[in-house]
Structure 1
Amino acid sequence: MATMERALQLVTVLEQELVNRRTDIDRHNAYYRGRGRLRYASDAFSKYHGDRYRDFCDNWVQVVADSPVERLTVNGIQAAGETEADKELWKVWQVNGLDADSQLGFLGAVTGARCFVLVWGDPDDPDMPVVTFEDASQCIVAYEPGSRRHRRAALKRWQDGGEDFATLYLPGEVWKFSRPVMYGEDSKSPAMTEVDEELKRWKPRELDDEPNPQPNPMGVVPMVELPNKPSLVGEPMSDVAGVIAMQDAINLLWAQLFTASDYASFPQRVILGADIPKLPVLNSEGVVVGEKPIDIEKFAVDRVMMFNGKDARIAEWAAANLTMYTGLIEVAVGHLAAQTRTPQHYLIGKMANLSADALLAAETGLVKRVEEKQLWYGQGIREAARLIALAQGDDRKADALRSGRVLWADAESRSHAQLADALVKLKGIGFPLEWLAAKYGLTPTEVSDMLAMRAREMDADPVSEITRMMVDGRTPEPAPPGQDEAPDEPVEEPAV
């Protein structure tokens, strides 16, 4: 069991690493929400137009991040040695609302490079653990040296009201701390600064209904990391990180297009060889006593101006070619699509009588991107399922789930006609109906309901028993002699 000093040391170290990660996480989240800072190609452009386009963003980051998440759907979890998904685990998944919260977690991993799953028992309901997806800005997991899977500690830190809270998860116990939130740094005396430093330190959080530290009955750290695009060395990568530079370029091109549209999108006429017109200044008697320049803006609004002079002539400047900007924007979006493996029809929005096969080919990169995430996220979800079994006290199931698998919805997008045709052909070569129903996209619960409905329909049909035997490969037995046989009809003798 760790001592108080050791627990506080771990909290301090993990918190510092979490603070270091927050810069990139907050930046990526800001760009996802369209709040990235607009960058300019020159100081002069920023000086004159910076305020005008400050809040503008042509947000492609959100499309890139959302495109794989909308195809990441968990349909169930299957333990090793089982032929169907675990219904008890699916009940825990549904009760905790993870069919919806998992989407939030996957989006957090795509933008923030990782997300976390926390599992803890509910004292009021031992059979129903509490499972939550956690954001990368609040959680961190520390691993054993040289390992990417063996967890040694985890920290969750968050703010609520006027206090910061921190919970340290260790294999044997759970420590809870809190401290006041410090708002701002004003000029203070050395004595008050020392008081602030003392207040900034974590203090054990005293709770009436549980001890601190609290024992961890699972025996392992109950938080699991779901990394996005991990590598053998270095940190996981966000899908948003590589999009930001091109997003800045696209926003700049739009700002320049808007400026050109305002200033140079119409033919401009200019008067050459003439002085600026002036108006005479009259005294009270109507005598000209001077001159004053005319209000140019008034003539620009009235669109009427008169010039005198024999050398005065009119010249014209052609309008700016704005299609140059739109062409560059389309090229930039095309680069963005290639770099992130996002289908062009997701970004450009142009479709011209594409066949189903052409659409599938266009989405191949996105499908592979989703399948990669299924692989890496699936490892974390499988470990979270193991933690659920440990929280329920089922060590046998927990051991089986170590080598189990996550059942994902199909990452490819097909029409119902295509999918039905493929399933009919698979049925023809012997694939079982239960497997075909799962391939169609039904959850394990829906598959069970479908099989029960099918059984009821067959029971209600007098021919169903023979059909069911033929489906199962059995031969109907002949009826015993004298039973279920129609009596011979009497044969009438022909009249003579």
Structure 2
Amino acid sequence: MADVKQATALVELLEAELRSRCTDIDTFQGYYRGEQPLKFASDEFRKYHGHRYKDFSDNWVQVVADSPVERLTVTGIKPAGADKADKESWRVWQTNALDADSQLGFLGAVTSARSFALVWGGSDGDETPIVTFEDASSCIVLYEPGSRRRRRAALRRWQDGEQYMAVLYLPDQVWKFQRPIEGRRDKTQDMAAADEQMNGWVPRDMGVQEPNPQPNPMGVVPVVELPNRPLLVDEPISDVRGVVPMQDAVNLLWAQLFTASDYASFPQRVILGAERPVLPIFNEQGEIVGEKPIDIEKFAVDRVAMFTGDDVRIAEWTAANLNAYTDVIEVAVGHIAAQTRTPQHYLIGKMANLSADALLAAETGLVKRVEEKQLWYGQALREVFALVALAQGDEAKARALRGGHLLWADAESRSQAQVADALLKLKQIGFPFEFLALRYGLTPTEVADVLAMVEREQELDPLGAATRLMTRTPQPDGNAPIRQPVADEAAA
């Protein structure tokens, strides 16, 4: 068990690491929202045109991040040794609205390289544990040396008014801390260090009704990390990390294209060999006392100008070829598609009479990308379901869930006709209805409802019931009953 000094030191250590991650997290999340500062190719372009495009972005980051998340749908979990999905685990999942919030957790992992899930027991008398997904900027997990799964501690930090709040989760204890938010950033280094020492983390005063620390009845750290594209010896990788520099290039090209379209998209005519025309200035007596240049902008409105002289001639600058910009932008978007395994028709929106096989081939990269995420997120979510069982006091079920199988909706996007044809072929080679219903995309709960509907429908069909009874009646010679075709089978 940790004492106050050890717990405080651990909070400071974890918060320092969390702060170091927040720079990249804030950048990636800002790019996802379209908050993309324009990067300029030259100081001259920034000087004359920077203010025009400071709020412009052509947001491909959002498309890349959303494309796998829309195909990540949990439909249940099957414990090890069980032949059906666990109903209680799914009830807890639905009660906590995780059918929707899990999408936020997956999006956070795809964008920020990781997200977290927190499990804790419900209030007194409530048997439903509380499960929430947490952002990468608010949580951090400390693992045992040499392990990527055995959790040693976890910290959750958030801002509440003028205070930072934090909860430190240990296998046997839960500590709650607070500290003031830092003041001005323009202080000297010594004064900032003094403020940091004065405004450090201190245990929260929870009163006599709630001790601090309090025991952790689950016996394990109840925070689970969902890593995105993890590596053996380095941090997980965000799906948008490689998109950000290409996004900057695309935004700059659009800004240059807009500028070119404003200045050089029309032919420019030039008058050579003539002085700028002038108008005489008359006094009250009608005498010429001076001259003034003609307003050139008036020519642009009137579209008529007259010049005199022996060598006057008109030349023309041809309009700029704006296709050069759009061609480069299309190549850049193609690079984004290839690097992130995002189908090009998601990005450029061009589909011309693609066959079903061609569309399936075009989305193969995205499907494999989704299946990789199902593998890594599935490991974390099995642990989340195990923590739910621990919060309910069922250790045997927790062990079975850790070794169980997470159920996902099909990652492939296929038409109803394709799905029906595939399921019919599976039915013909002997696959049972329940398996086919799961492959169709129904959740285990929906499959149970459909099976109950089938039973009720059969009970309301007297002819079908009599036929089924006849098929089960033993023959007088003691042989097995003769299998007769059932009405619904004949119809199939």
TM-score bracket, shorter-length normalisation? over 0.9
> Cα distance, 1:476 vs. partner?
3.3
* Residue of structure 1 in register with 2:199 after alignment: 200
Moved more, 287-296 or 418-427: 287-296
For 1:327 and 1:468, locate their aligned partners in 2 and report how far apart those are by CA, in whole Å. 68
> Cα distance, 1:203 vs. partner?
1.4
For 1:40 and 1:188, locate their aligned partners in 2 and report how far apart those are by CA, in whole Å. 33
Contact 1:79/1:405 (CA < 8 Å) preserved in 2?
yes
For 1:373 and 1:221, locate their aligned partners in 2 and report how far apart those are by CA, in whole Å. 23
* Residue of structure 2 in register with 1:264 after alignment: 264
For 2:447 and 2:87, locate their aligned partners in 1 and report how far apart those are by CA, in whole Å. 11
Deviations 1:94-124 (A, max 9, x none): 0101000000000000000000000001132
> Cα distance, 1:44 vs. partner?
1.3
Contact 1:179/1:199 (CA < 8 Å) preserved in 2?
no
TM-score, structure 2 length as denominator? 0.93
Q: Give runs of aligned pairs for residues 64-463 of structure 1, distance below 5 A.
A: 64-185=64-185, 196-208=195-207, 209-463=209-463
* Residue of structure 2 in register with 1:476 after alignment: 473
* Residue of structure 2 in register with 1:60 after alignment: 60
Contact 1:126/1:392 (CA < 8 Å) preserved in 2?
no
For 1:422 and 1:125, locate their aligned partners in 2 and report how far apart those are by CA, in whole Å. 47
> Cα distance, 1:468 vs. partner?
5.2
> Cα distance, 1:478 vs. partner?
5.3
* Structure 1: gaps (5+ residues): 481-496
Root mean square deviation, CA, Å: 1.9
> Cα distance, 1:185 vs. partner?
3.5
Larger Rg: 1
Partner secondary structure for residue 121 of structure 2: strand
Moved more, 458-467 or 64-73: 458-467
Partner secondary structure for residue 365 of structure 1: helix
For 1:36 and 1:270, locate their aligned partners in 2 and report how far apart those are by CA, in whole Å. 39
Contact 1:112/1:238 (CA < 8 Å) preserved in 2?
yes
Moved more, 459-468 or 12-21: 459-468
TM-score, structure 1 length as denominator? 0.93
For 1:352 and 1:188, locate their aligned partners in 2 and report how far apart those are by CA, in whole Å. 63
Contact 1:265/1:321 (CA < 8 Å) preserved in 2?
yes
Deviations 1:43-86 (A, max 9, x none): 11111111111111111110000000000000001100011110
For 1:182 and 1:42, locate their aligned partners in 2 and report how far apart those are by CA, in whole Å. 37
> Cα distance, 1:294 vs. partner?
2.1
> Cα distance, 1:312 vs. partner?
0.9
Identity %: 69
For 2:241 and 2:188, locate their aligned partners in 1 and report how far apart those are by CA, in whole Å. 40
Contact 1:71/1:409 (CA < 8 Å) preserved in 2?
yes
> Cα distance, 1:332 vs. partner?
1.0
For 1:180 and 1:138, locate their aligned partners in 2 and report how far apart those are by CA, in whole Å. 16
For 1:469 and 1:336, locate their aligned partners in 2 and report how far apart those are by CA, in whole Å. 62
* Residue of structure 1 in register with 2:483 after alignment: none
Matched, 1:51 2:51: yes
* Residue of structure 2 in register with 1:24 after alignment: 24
Contact 1:76/1:86 (CA < 8 Å) preserved in 2?
yes
Moved more, 311-320 or 176-185: 176-185
* Residue of structure 2 in register with 1:493 after alignment: none
* Structure 2: gaps (5+ residues): 478-492
Partner secondary structure for residue 105 of structure 1: helix
Residue 425 of structure 1 aligns with an amino acid whose one-letter code is: K
Change (3 A) 1:193 1:411: closer
For 2:223 and 2:197, locate their aligned partners in 1 and report how far apart those are by CA, in whole Å. 30
> Cα distance, 1:193 vs. partner?
6.5
For 1:148 and 1:195, locate their aligned partners in 2 and report how far apart those are by CA, in whole Å. 37
Contact 1:180/1:199 (CA < 8 Å) preserved in 2?
no
For 2:333 and 2:175, locate their aligned partners in 1 and report how far apart those are by CA, in whole Å. 49
> Cα distance, 1:87 vs. partner?
0.3
Partner secondary structure for residue 463 of structure 1: helix
Partner secondary structure for residue 334 of structure 1: helix
Deviations 1:291-314 (A, max 9, x none): 222222232233222212121111
Deviations 1:397-436 (A, max 9, x none): 0111110111000000110011011111111111111111
For 2:68 and 2:466, locate their aligned partners in 1 and report how far apart those are by CA, in whole Å. 46
> Cα distance, 1:477 vs. partner?
3.3
Partner secondary structure for residue 122 of structure 1: coil
For 1:159 and 1:150, locate their aligned partners in 2 and report how far apart those are by CA, in whole Å. 28
Residue 359 of structure 1 aligns with an amino acid whose one-letter code is: L
Change (3 A) 1:467 1:104: farther
For 1:153 and 1:77, locate their aligned partners in 2 and report how far apart those are by CA, in whole Å. 26
Moved more, 280-289 or 156-165: 280-289
For 1:441 and 1:358, locate their aligned partners in 2 and report how far apart those are by CA, in whole Å. 23
Contact 1:228/1:237 (CA < 8 Å) preserved in 2?
yes
> Cα distance, 1:189 vs. partner?
13
For 1:338 and 1:125, locate their aligned partners in 2 and report how far apart those are by CA, in whole Å. 53
Change (3 A) 1:314 1:19: same
Moved more, 384-393 or 288-297: 288-297
For 1:461 and 1:159, locate their aligned partners in 2 and report how far apart those are by CA, in whole Å. 63
